[in-house]
């Protein structure tokens, strides 16, 4: 194919078409840039992909949709009506939680309904639950928004008066006490503590090490709400891709960038299939470790990044189930009875506990056409360690047996005889498909008070014209943060690259 090699101050190359890459492309194209995207896969979306098998439709990656305002704001910036591309609805229940002791909790997306549910089922003080969520909202609005909307690596961020407002609500306990310690002080039941500990897994972290600051995350689900995109999560990818095309973005699929060209500490373009494609502006949506190690050949920086603790990965079973289950909803979690040990296995022993927490996502609950009549499409995910050369075939076989036994025990069924079709995704295949270092889902973990400040910046301080977006740089992984990353990166470019 022919590449546009024309040098232009308004031309930018984006490496990778994940959610952050596409959102950055849309923003820059809307600001007048000519954008060329190079993607090694045959389709856009990165981790947010999709497949069908024997009539069952599966979102392959992220399955939880929060903060639709990020997508709405993107379409507004592009001056395009979102309803022509994307539709969604709010869900009443964020998640159904199941415990080995027989207790079941419906985690409502309404603060008062949730507090009443925890009071009724777990004897929690409903006012204490509401206070927890009000504190989460305050933390998010005063501190979280600074983190999510601004580069932490620019002095101007810290000289703004909003930082003084943030300091007024910041307590050292949020930084130096763990999320588990924080939750253990706020709730009386082990089940409630476990429910709110789970939010550390939003960014692949350990609640027994991650700071109490992560207690702001429940604000997203229980104050703002959870949502379902019509057509499944893949509709987010499709909407952004169509919008990018409308804005004139050029996509080049099955085209792997082999090298970022540098000269005198400035980017000059990329090498793709042996051809030089020139531009003074490069944005990498690839894993930042991969970018430094393989595209820039900057081994000292890559080595430094490799020393940072990775977030968790995932083991996913995509099951076509020949039955429907009334007790299950869109999002369901069957909790481990040994939660602390589970995280010790993930981050220290680099294995999967024989009693793992199981997440089951079933989009056919929202749209029946996602599965054949009388059936359900189960996305069954277990937190997994990163790929460190484990015997994955043996580990997957053992974990599958343990998962089936746990589902059978809690739901009182024989699930294996109902599995009509199966596909498996593990840390090895995640690493291969997405380029994520060691199969990590979120780049580095947040298992220390300073993790946010150690996460790589959205720009290269020593290479002019090089920027980064996506889940491995600030502010982190997951759809909302990747969209925020695109916002931060594009704002830096529009301001700096005039």
Last residue of a domain, one of 222, 247, 263: 222
266 found inside a domain: yes
Q: What is the pLDDT of residue 454?
A: 85
User: 141 is in which domain, residue-wise?
Assistant: 126-222
Say what the pTM is. 0.94
Rounded Cα distance between 52 and 305, Å, is 36
241 found inside a domain: yes
Q: What is the pLDDT of residue 147?
A: 82
Rounded Cα distance between 44 and 34, Å, is 18
105 found inside a domain: no
Residue with tokens 């999320």: 179
Residues 290 and 212 in one domain: no
471 found inside a domain: yes
Residues 302 and 250 in one domain: yes
Rounded Cα distance between 345 and 232, Å, is 32
The radius of gyration computed from the CA coordinates of the chain, to the nearest angstrom, equals: 22
- Residue 28: which CATH number? 3.50.50.60
244 found inside a domain: yes
Residues 17 and 75 in one domain: yes
Rounded Cα distance between 234 and 457, Å, is 28
42 found inside a domain: yes
Q: What is the pLDDT of residue 160?
A: 67
238 found inside a domain: yes
Q: What is the pLDDT of residue 4?
A: 45
Nearest to 446 by CA among 222, 205, 268, 272: 205
Last residue of a domain, one of 189, 222, 255: 222
Residues 137 and 188 in one domain: yes
Residues 251 and 205 in one domain: no
Q: What is the pLDDT of residue 8?
A: 42
Residues 218 and 235 in one domain: no
Residues 210 and 245 in one domain: no
Rounded Cα distance between 440 and 445, Å, is 9
Last residue of a domain, one of 175, 199, 222: 222
Residues 131 and 214 in one domain: yes
Residues 218 and 239 in one domain: no
Identify whether 283 is preceded by a cis peptide bond (ω within 30 of 0).
no
The one-digit pLDDT tens for each residue of the chain (498 residues) are 334 444 445 899 999 999 999 999 999 999 999 999 999 999 999 999 999 999 999 999 999 999 999 999 999 999 999 999 999 999 999 999 999 999 999 999 999 999 999 999 999 999 999 999 999 999 999 888 888 888 888 877 766 666 666 666 667 777 789 999 999 999 999 999 999 999 999 999 999 999 999 999 999 999 999 999 999 999 999 999 999 999 999 999 999 999 999 999 999 999 999 999 999 999 999 999 999 999 999 999 999 999 999 999 999 999 999 999 999 999 999 999 999 999 999 999 999 999 999 999 999 999 999 999 999 999 999 999 999 999 999 999 999 999 999 999 999 999 999 999 999 999 999 999 999 999 999 999 999 888 878 899 999 999 999 999 999 999 999 999 999 999 999 999 999 876
The model's pLDDT over 70-89, given as tens digits with 9 standing for 90+, comes to 999 999 999 999 999 999 99
Residues 201 and 280 in one domain: no
Q: What is the pLDDT of residue 150?
A: 84
User: Concatenated DSSP letters for 50-107?
Assistant: EEEETTEEEE-S---EE-THHHHHHHHHTT--GGGT--EEE-SEEEEEE-TTS-EEEE
Q: What is the pLDDT of residue 498?
A: 61
20 found inside a domain: yes
Alpha helices in 208-248 (DSSP H): 218-219, 234-246
Q: Angle at the Cα of 433 (from 421 to 259), degrees rounded to 5?
A: 165
Looking at the 3D structure of the chain, how many domains does it have?
2
Residue 300 CB neighbour total at 10 angstroms: 8
Residues 235 and 208 in one domain: no
Residues 218 and 243 in one domain: no
């Amino acid at each position: 194919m022919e590449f546009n090699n024309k040098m232009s101050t308004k031309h930018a190359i984006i490496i990778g078409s994940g959610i952050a890459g596409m959102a950055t492309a849309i923003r820059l194209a809307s600001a007048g840039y000519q954008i060329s995207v190079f993607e090694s896969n045959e389709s856009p979306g990165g981790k947010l992909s999709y497949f069908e098998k024997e009539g069952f439709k599966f979102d392959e990656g992220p399955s939880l949709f929060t903060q639709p305002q990020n997508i709405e704001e993107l379409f507004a910036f592009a001056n395009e009506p979102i309803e022509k591309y994307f539709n969604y609805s709010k869900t009443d229940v964020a998640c159904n939680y199941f415990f080995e002791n027989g207790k079941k909790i419906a985690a409502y997306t309404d603060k008062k309904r949730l507090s009443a549910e925890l009071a009724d089922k777990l004897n929690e003080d409903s006012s204490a639950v509401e206070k927890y969520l009000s504190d989460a909202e305050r933390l998010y609005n005063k501190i979280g928004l600074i983190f999510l909307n601004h580069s932490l690596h620019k002095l101007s961020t810290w000289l703004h008066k909003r930082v003084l407002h943030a300091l007024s609500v910041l307590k050292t306990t949020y930084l130096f006490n763990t999320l588990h310690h924080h939750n253990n002080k706020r709730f009386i039941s082990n089940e409630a503590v476990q429910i709110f500990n789970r939010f550390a897994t939003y960014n692949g972290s350990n609640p027994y090490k991650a700071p109490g600051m992560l207690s702001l995350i429940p604000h997203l689900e229980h104050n703002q709400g959870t949502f379902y995109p019509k057509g499944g999560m893949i509709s987010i990818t499709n909407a952004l891709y169509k919008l990018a095309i409308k804005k004139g973005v050029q996509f080049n699929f099955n085209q792997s960038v082999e090298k970022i060209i540098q000269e005198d500490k400035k980017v000059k373009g990329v090498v793709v299939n042996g051809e030089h494609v020139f531009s003074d502006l490069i944005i990498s949506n690839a894993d930042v470790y991969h970018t430094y190690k393989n595209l820039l050949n900057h081994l000292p920086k890559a080595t430094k990044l490799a020393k940072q603790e990775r977030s968790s990965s995932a083991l996913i079973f995509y099951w076509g189930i020949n039955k429907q289950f009334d007790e299950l909803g869109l999002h369901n979690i069957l909790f481990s009875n040994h939660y602390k040990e589970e995280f010790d296995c993930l981050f220290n022993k680099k294995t999967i506990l024989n009693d793992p927490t199981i997440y089951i996502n079933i989009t056919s609950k929202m749209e029946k056409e996602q599965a054949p009549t009388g059936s359900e499409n189960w996305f069954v995910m277990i937190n997994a360690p990163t790929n460190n050369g484990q015997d994955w075939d043996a580990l997957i076989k053992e974990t599958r047996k343990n998962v089936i036994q746990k589902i059978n025990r809690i739901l009182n069924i024989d699930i294996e005889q109902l599995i009509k079709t199966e596909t498996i995704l593990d840390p090895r295949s995640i690493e291969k498909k997405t380029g994520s270092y060691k199969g990590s889902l979120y780049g580095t973990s947040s298992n220390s008070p300073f993790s946010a400040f150690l996460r790589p910046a959205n720009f290269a301080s020593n290479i002019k014209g090089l920027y980064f977006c996506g889940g491995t740089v600030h502010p982190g992984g997951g759809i909302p943060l990747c969209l925020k990353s695109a916002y931060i990166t594009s704002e830096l470019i529009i301001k700096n690259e005039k």
